[in-house]
Structure 1
Amino acid sequence: MLRKGLMLAALGLAFVAGPALSATSKEEPKEMDWSFTGPLGKYDQAQLQRGYKVYREVCSACHAMSLVSFRNLGEKGGPFYDPKYPNPNDNPYVKSLAKDIQVSDIDNETGDAIKRPAGTADRFPSPFANEAAARASNGGALPPDLSVIAKAREGGPDYIYSILTGFVQPPAGLTVSPGKYYNPYFPGDLSSFWTGKGEVPKGGFIGMPPPLAANKVTFDDNTKSTVENQARDVSAFLMWAAEPKMEQRKQFGLGAMIYLLIFTGLLYASYRRIWRNVAH
Structure 2
Amino acid sequence: MIRLIAMLVGLGFSGVVLLAFLFGVGPAFSVFAEHGRFVAPTAEHEFHKESHAPEGGFSFAGPFGKYDKQQLQRGLQVYAEVCAACHSLKYVSFRDIEALGYSEAQVKAFAASKQVPGIDPNTGEATTRPGLPTDRFPSPYPNAVAAAAANNNAIPPDLSLMAKARHNGSEYIYSLLTGYQAQPAELLEHFPDAKTPDGLYYNPYFANLNLAMAPPLSDGQVTYGDGNPEPTISQMSADVAAFLTWTAEPKMEKRKQTGWAVLAFLLFATILAYLSKKQIWASIKPRKD
Q: Normalising by structure 2, what TM-score?
A: 0.79
Counterpart residue number, 2:202: 182
Aligned partner letter, 1:142: I
Are 2:53 and 2:174, in contact at CA under 8 Å, matched by a contact in 1? no
Are 2:49 and 2:205, in contact at CA under 8 Å, matched by a contact in 1? yes
CA distance in 2, matches of 1:185, 1:65: 23
Tell me how far 1:186 sits from its aligned partner. Answer: 1.1
Are 1:80 and 1:93, in contact at CA under 8 Å, matched by a contact in 2? no
Cα deviations by residue, 1:189-209 (Å, 9 ceiling, x for unpaired): xxxxxxxxxxxxxxx111111
Tell me how far 1:96 sits from its aligned partner. Answer: 1.6
What is the CA RMSD across the aligned residues, in angstroms?
2.6
Aligned partner letter, 1:58: V
Are 1:153 and 1:159, in contact at CA under 8 Å, matched by a contact in 2? yes
**Is residue 253 from structure 1 mapped to residue 259 from structure 2 by the alignment?**
yes
Could you say if the C-alpha distance between residues 179 and 126 of structure 1 is closer, same or farther in structure 2, counting changes exceeding 3 Å?
Answer: same
**Is residue 226 from structure 1 mapped to residue 240 from structure 2 by the alignment?**
no
Could you say if the C-alpha distance between residues 268 and 133 of structure 1 is closer, same or farther in structure 2, counting changes exceeding 3 Å?
Answer: same
Cα deviations by residue, 1:6-58 (Å, 9 ceiling, x for unpaired): x949957x9599436x4323111124411111112111111111000000000
Q: How many residues are aligned here?
A: 252
CA distance in 2, matches of 1:51, 1:101: 17
Which entry has the higher C-alpha Rg, 1 or 2?
A: 2
CA distance in 2, matches of 1:115, 1:272: 71
Counterpart residue number, 2:127: 114
Are 1:80 and 1:94, in contact at CA under 8 Å, matched by a contact in 2? no
Are 1:141 and 1:207, in contact at CA under 8 Å, matched by a contact in 2? yes
Are 1:150 and 1:157, in contact at CA under 8 Å, matched by a contact in 2? yes
CA distance in 1, matches of 2:214, 2:229: 25
CA distance in 2, matches of 1:42, 1:8: 57
Tell me how far 1:108 sits from its aligned partner. Answer: 2.6
Could you say if the C-alpha distance between residues 143 and 37 of structure 1 is closer, same or farther in structure 2, counting changes exceeding 3 Å?
Answer: same
Q: Structure 2, unaligned stretches of length 5 or more?
A: 1-11, 32-37
Tell me how far 1:271 sits from its aligned partner. Answer: 2.2
Counterpart residue number, 1:200: none
CA distance in 2, matches of 1:162, 1:123: 28
CA distance in 1, matches of 2:70, 2:180: 27
CA distance in 1, matches of 2:232, 2:105: 30
SS in 1 for 2:116: strand
Deviates more, 1:268-277 or 1:209-218: 268-277
Question: Which has more helix, going by share of residues?
Answer: 2
SS in 2 for 1:262: helix
**Is residue 213 from structure 1 mapped to residue 218 from structure 2 by the alignment?**
yes
Counterpart residue number, 1:134: 147
CA distance in 1, matches of 2:147, 2:247: 22
1:78-93 equivalence runs, <5 A: 78-80=99-101, 91-93=104-106
Identical-pair percentage: 44
Runs of 4+ in 1 over 6 A off after TM superposition: none
Tell me how far 1:109 sits from its aligned partner. Answer: 3.0
Are 2:115 and 2:131, in contact at CA under 8 Å, matched by a contact in 1? yes
Cα deviations by residue, 1:165-185 (Å, 9 ceiling, x for unpaired): 011122344633221111111
Cα deviations by residue, 1:64-106 (Å, 9 ceiling, x for unpaired): 11111112212xxx32366xxxxxxxx2221121111111101
Are 2:174 and 2:241, in contact at CA under 8 Å, matched by a contact in 1? yes
CA distance in 1, matches of 2:149, 2:158: 16
Could you say if the C-alpha distance between residues 81 and 273 of structure 1 is closer, same or farther in structure 2, counting changes exceeding 3 Å?
Answer: farther
Are 2:161 and 2:244, in contact at CA under 8 Å, matched by a contact in 1? yes
Are 1:156 and 1:239, in contact at CA under 8 Å, matched by a contact in 2? yes
Are 1:64 and 1:126, in contact at CA under 8 Å, matched by a contact in 2? yes
Counterpart residue number, 1:70: 94
Q: Structure 1, unaligned stretches of length 5 or more?
A: 83-90, 189-203
Counterpart residue number, 2:3: none
Aligned partner letter, 1:210: P
Aligned partner letter, 2:79: Y
**Is residue 19 from structure 1 mapped to residue 40 from structure 2 by the alignment?**
yes
Counterpart residue number, 1:147: 160
Q: Normalising by structure 1, what TM-score?
A: 0.82
**Is residue 56 from structure 1 mapped to residue 102 from structure 2 by the alignment?**
no
